[in-house]
Amino acid sequence: MDLNNYLSLSYHLPFGSYDVDKLRGELRLTIGGSGQTYHGIGKQAIDLSNLLILSDDEGPFGSPTSDSIRAMINDDTSHAIIVGYGFSQSVDQQQAIQKKTAHTTRNYLLDTKIENQWISNHE
């Protein structure tokens, strides 16, 4: 997805975009368990052991390194989430990136409603 690549290059962070209508329940940021996998976009099974991953009630669907087929955006997607994986940025830096990402998204995707949300590991 061109917008993901643009955002990643602009902010020097990995970004992922996911089809929200394919996700179930609460989104969680966790560490992949031993033997945990998913089918990556254009790839075979991705080993998620010890990787930072996004999960929902059906299991993992995204990571900073490769996203899953299950939550992949396509031409029919009408409700998406864009995730910037920030690691060492301050809260102020993260908020600035979030604001700039929303602005950039509005410029690329007309008739877009933007909602801001934080996903964090509460464990």
CATH number at residue 70: 3.50.40.10
Amino acid 119: pLDDT: 64
Torsion angles phi and psi, residue 23, rounded to 5: -100, 155
| Nearest-angstrom CA–CA distance, 56 and 62 | 10
In a domain, residue 116? The reply is no
pTM for the whole structure: 0.82
Residue with tokens 């955006």: 73
- Structure-token match 């993992």, residue found: 60
Average pLDDT, the chain: 86
pLDDT at 121 over 60: no
Instruction: Say if 20 falls within a structural domain.
Output: yes
Q: What is the mean pLDDT of residues 65-73?
A: 92
The better pLDDT of the pair 8, 60 is held by 60
Place of tokens 């602009």: 10
Q: Does residue 123 lie in a domain region?
A: no
Q: How far apart are CA 86 and CA 83, in angstroms?
A: 9
